[in-house]
Amino acid sequence: MKGPFLNLLLIVSLRAEITMEQRQVPLEVLPRDASLAKIVLLAGSPSNKPGQHEYFAGCALLREWLAAIPGVAPVMVADGWPENPAVLEGARVVLFYLDGGPKLPFLDPVRRAKVQALADAGTGFIVLHQAVDCPAELAGSFKEWFGAVFQPDIGCRGHWDVEFTSIPAHPVTSGLQPFALKKDGWLYNLHFAERGVTPLLAARMPDGSRKTAHAKAHLGREETVAWAYERPGGGRSAGFTGCDLHVSWGVAPQRRLLLNALLWTAGLSIPAAGTDIPAPVDLGRNLDRKIFLPKTKPVESPGNGARLKP
The pLDDT assigned to 290 comes to 87
Decide if pLDDT at 300 tops 60: no
Helix (H, G, I), strand (E, B) or coil at 125: strand
Decide if pLDDT at 299 tops 70: no
Tens digit of each residue's pLDDT (9 = 90 or more) over 14-32: 345 789 999 999 999 999 9
Residue 279 pLDDT class (50, 70, 90 cuts): confident
Exposed (0-12), middle (13-18) or buried (19+): which is 231, by Cβ within 10 Å?
Answer: buried
Are residues 306 and 284 in contact, defined by beta-carbon separation less than 8 angstroms? yes
Asked which of 8-12, 217-221, 253-257, 272-276 is least confident by mean pLDDT, the reply is 8-12
Residue type, 138: L
Tens digit of each residue's pLDDT (9 = 90 or more) over 145-196: 999 999 999 999 999 999 999 999 999 999 999 999 999 999 999 999 999 9
Overall pTM > 0.75? yes
The pLDDT assigned to 13 comes to 37
Tens digit of each residue's pLDDT (9 = 90 or more) over 76-116: 999 999 999 999 999 999 999 999 999 999 999 999 999 99
Q: For residue 260, give the H/E element and its range.
A: helix 252-265
First to last CA, the chain: 44
Residue range 252-274: mean pLDDT, rounded: 97
What are the domain boundaries of the chain?
A: 4-300
Inter-axis angle of helices 252-265 and 55-67, nearest 10: 70
Exposed (0-12), middle (13-18) or buried (19+): which is 306, by Cβ within 10 Å?
Answer: middle
Tens digit of each residue's pLDDT (9 = 90 or more) over 281-296: 789 999 999 875 454 4
The pLDDT assigned to 308 comes to 52
**What are the angstrom distances between the C-alpha of 58 and each of 10, 129, 204?**
25, 12, 26
The pLDDT assigned to 75 comes to 98
The pLDDT assigned to 293 comes to 46
Domain spanning 4-300: CATH superfamily: Class I glutamine amidotransferase (GATase) domain (3.40.50.880)
Please report, rounded to a whole number, the percentage of residues in the chain having pLDDT higher than 70: 88
The pLDDT assigned to 292 comes to 58
Decide if pLDDT at 213 tops 80: yes
Residue 40 pLDDT class (50, 70, 90 cuts): very high
